[in-house]
Amino acid sequence: MDSFNQAWEIICEFCRSQITDVAYKTWFGRLKPVSMDFEKGVAIIEAPNDFHKQTLLRCYSDLLSRALQNVFGGNIGFELVVTEEPDRVLEKDSNQDEGYELTFDTFVVGPSNRFAHAACQAVASKPALLYNPLFIYGNSGLGKTHLLSAVSREFKNNFPDRTVVYVKSEDFTNEVIDAIARGTTPALRAKYRNADLLLMDDIQFIGGKTSTQEEFFHTFNTLYEAKKQIVLTSDRPPKDIATLEDRLKTRFEWGLTADVQAPEFETRVAIIRRKAESFDFDIPENVCEYMANKLKNNIRQLEGAVKKLRAFHLLENRPVNIATAQTAISDIINNSQPTPVTVEKIIEEVARTYQVTPEDICSQKRNAAVSKSRQVAMYVVREITQMPMVEIGQTFGGRDHSTVVYALRQMEERLERESHTRDTVNDIIKNIRDR
């Protein structure tokens, strides 16, 4: 065939016919054709990440080989490649609009966030003197990451020779796991324990992860004793993170805890105006108020609505009025529903929590740690997705229905009698749903 892309559609149809829809969507739906080297007889296919690659090689290698040979004939093999995601740097957030920096100047202050904003300004100008650590909590989309970025920028302006380290807690967890596996823990510690300012986003995700909490406990102590500033964010206060170790909860409350609430009407109007100004885009007052009345709980939705309204005006020459705003808001609400949770995300979260690899969970290994994490993963998949048990078994390395039934019964019994397991599973489910 002339086009590997055309052939790929036929390859996918062959694979789809051999397995369940859920297994197909989970493991084949995110693969992308790259190129075909007919001289070497190799098809190059891109997987979204290494876990996806390894699972497909282990569970579905034969199926993919048969599909390729069915289309191309002969002895055709394949190679899976992973395109690494670029490092997520706070100051270069890909969702950030050009010319709109996440600074204190661009942060709209109101009664719902004034206290947190003032605390962030204080630690950026007088680090480790007033509030250390500073713990900011609130629901997603209310500006916590904006405040972290503002602290980082202001701190660098005030102390250009000092070191700032920003990390999401999920990335920190992955770094800890990788350092343990590769024997590079000293380098990891040097990176974080030599920081003058440590910013960690979404700290709730380290709950239940023993090695990560141990590493962060000692990192926290080192920085605190050296009078280095620590700023943390979470979707809930420390006391409400059920699987967070008590020693960490206590330390997180040593300094100042500040919450960020949903913005009230006047602040929502101001956010709309500020976003429009950043685009040099004029929105009539009645339209601003209409949008502010309709979108009440999420700053990202307000900013997204401004962008949609501007796009309708520029690209379709629509007037900037309430009728156009209605369309923009409807589009934003429809597109802002939670992303469907994938089995892959669940397995990754469970693996991080129990200090095993995603590959272990889908493997045939039967040691105690792997078996326990596999049962938890199956239970969470069933709880969140309501996937039929046959399809759960297929997704977890081709296990049969009875194995899944047994795993779910075991989990139900353990949840009844083990409060720690119950707290851990509840946190895992909350973390996955809150993403």
Residues 124 and 254 grouped into a single domain? yes
Residues 240 and 110 grouped into a single domain? yes
- What's residue 1's pLDDT? 43
- What's residue 335's pLDDT? 54
The pTM assigned to this predicted structure is 0.67
Answer whether 161's CB lies under 8 Å from 193's CB.
no
**For the chain, what is the mean pLDDT?**
86
21-25, 94-98, 268-272, 424-428: segment of lowest average pLDDT: 94-98
Of these ranges, 75-79, 332-336, 377-381, the one predicted with the greatest mean pLDDT is 377-381
Confidence check: pLDDT of 110 > 60: yes
- What's residue 340's pLDDT? 57
- Average pLDDT rounded to a whole number, residues 158-184: 88
- What's residue 156's pLDDT? 93
- Please choose, from the candidates 22, 82, 75, the residue with its C-alpha nearest in 3D space to the C-alpha of residue 57: 82
Residues 399 and 294 grouped into a single domain? no
Residues 26 and 95 grouped into a single domain? no
Residues 105 and 222 grouped into a single domain? yes
Residues 233 and 114 grouped into a single domain? yes
CATH code of the domain in which 17 resides: 3.30.300.180
Describe the strand order of the beta sheet including 77-82 as a list of residue ranges.
32-37, 42-47, 77-82
Single residue among 335, 360, 385 that ends a domain in this structure: 335
- Average pLDDT rounded to a whole number, residues 285-302: 90
Spatial distance between the Cα atoms of 40 and 245, rounded to a whole number of angstroms: 54
Residues 234 and 303 grouped into a single domain? no
- What's residue 55's pLDDT? 78
Confidence check: pLDDT of 7 > 80: yes
Answer whether 263's CB lies under 8 Å from 110's CB.
yes
Confidence check: pLDDT of 275 > 50: yes
- Average pLDDT rounded to a whole number, residues 150-168: 93
Confidence check: pLDDT of 58 > 90: no
120-131 pLDDT per residue, tens? 999 999 999 989
Backbone angles phi, psi at 251, to 5 degrees: -65, -35
- Average pLDDT rounded to a whole number, residues 176-202: 89
CATH code of the domain in which 357 resides: 1.10.1750.10
Residues 253 and 291 grouped into a single domain? no
CATH code of the domain in which 186 resides: 3.40.50.300
- What is the span of the domain harbouring residue 320? 267-335
- What's residue 90's pLDDT? 55
- Please choose, from the candidates 349, 424, 386, the residue with its C-alpha nearest in 3D space to the C-alpha of residue 177: 349
Residues 318 and 393 grouped into a single domain? no
Single residue among 301, 335, 369 that ends a domain in this structure: 335
Residues 326 and 236 grouped into a single domain? no
310-355 pLDDT per residue, tens? 988 888 888 999 999 988 888 666 655 555 567 888 998 898 888 8
Residues 122 and 239 grouped into a single domain? yes
79-93, 164-178, 409-423: segment of lowest average pLDDT: 79-93
Single residue among 259, 286, 304 that ends a domain in this structure: 259
What single-letter DSSP state applies at residue 264?
Answer: -
Residues 19 and 151 grouped into a single domain? no
- What's residue 99's pLDDT? 45
- Counted domains in the chain: 4
In angstroms, how far is the first alpha carbon of the chain from the final one?
41
Answer whether 118's CB lies under 8 Å from 147's CB.
no
Confidence check: pLDDT of 5 > 70: yes
